[in-house]
Amino acid sequence: MEHLIKFLEARICKCRERAAELEKDFRKDEAVFEKVRENVFDIFKTVLHVANAQHGGDEAAVRLFFESRLNQIPAAWAASLEKARLHGDENKALIEEIKLAAVSDIKAALEEAK
Amino acid sequence: MTENEAIALLKCLADKSRLQILKSLAIEDMYVERLAERLNLTAPTISFHLKKLQEAGAVSSYKNQYYTMYSLKKEVFEVRLMDILQEKSAEAEMQQERDRQYRQKVIDTFFEYGKLKAIPAQRKKRRIVLEEIVKDFEMSRRYDEKEVNLIIAAYHDDFCTLRREMIMEGLMQRDHQIYWRME
């Protein structure tokens, strides 16, 4: 799972840099989107730390724990996206889409690590 | 454009991506995907910005076959910033009302039964008192000094000070002992 930690840290760093660039370029709303993305990577970095703390050394158990949270946590975001679309709340929908896209990135990285 | 509408519009314009969208729409009407391609942004991001611009009254949309086209509301951008500054606002009316109340309070404090109790030491209050007294002078009439003194003395014994203050404040003008009220 070392690969995944590095992946998450790199993404957090990239999002942070991009947000700073966007803010400097007077694109504040897009900077907020990057912060949202960064926040998702940060959440799963924490999840990974917790998994390591609880099942340290047992790679399979760490992976199982992480995968379960990776499905569990975004379920609420998917529901929120559905609700936002239903009510025509495009702003909220966009935020939820950004969060779910970040989750897809993490899932792809996890697959690669297999 | 109301004050709140101007604030919403200016706030909305303070974003480079939105400004780029408006610049594109100034050329011609466009749909989301076209704008996304031109500005190298994702379609959802463009939609997000367009919604904000629509809410601020900067753009409008219409259906054209399969596409929703967006166009610049040119009349909004023809408003001069000076027009916005000169727009009467609720805040301006409230300020006027506060000024009126303050003025009345000064008058009530310094006048009693038509007589000036004391000459205010504070310039702002003194000016208000002088403006009240000067109302007794007709606009286009010329007065000699004796007439001026009599009118002012009806308010306060120290008519010399008050007369001099009226000149200094630009409420009255003097030339060879002839006085007249200023507009």
Complex-level ipTM: 0.78
* Tens-digit pLDDT profile for residues A64-95: 999 999 999 999 999 999 999 998 888 899 99
DSSP 8-state secondary structure symbol assigned to residue B157: S
Cα distance from N-terminal residue to C-terminal residue, chain B: 33
Percent of chain A with pLDDT over 70: 100
Residues of chain A with pLDDT under 50: none
Region label for B42, one of left (φ > 0), alpha (ψ between -120 and 50) or beta (otherwise): beta
Given the candidates 3.90.1150.10, 1.10.10.10, 3.40.50.1820, 1.10.3720.10, the CATH classification of the domain at B3-82 is 1.10.10.10
Give the pLDDT score at A102: 97
B15 contacts A94? CB cut-off 8 A: no
Residue B48 contacts A where some CB pair is shorter than 8 Å: yes
Residue B72 · residue B59 · CB < 8 Å: yes
- Which domain does A64 fall in, by range? 2-112
A26 contacts B48? CB cut-off 8 A: no
* Tens-digit pLDDT profile for residues B18-43: 999 999 999 999 999 999 999 999 99
B48 contacts A27? CB cut-off 8 A: no
Q: Which of B16, B17, B48 has the CB atom closest to A90's CB atom?
A: B48
Give the pLDDT score at B86: 82
B49 contacts A91? CB cut-off 8 A: no
Residue B109 contacts A where some CB pair is shorter than 8 Å: no
Number of domains chain A is built from: 1
Q: How far is B59 from chain A (nearest CA, A)?
A: 17
Give the pLDDT score at A57: 78
Q: Which residues contact B78 (CB under 8 A, 6 or more apart)?
A: none
Q: How far is A22 from chain B (nearest CA, A)?
A: 9
Given a cut of 80, whether residue B166 has pLDDT beyond it is yes
* Tens-digit pLDDT profile for residues B69-104: 999 999 999 988 888 888 777 777 788 889 999 999
For residue B110, give the 3-state DSSP assignment. helix
Domain ranges of chain B: 3-82, 90-181
Q: Which residues contact B105 (CB under 8 A, 6 or more apart)?
A: none
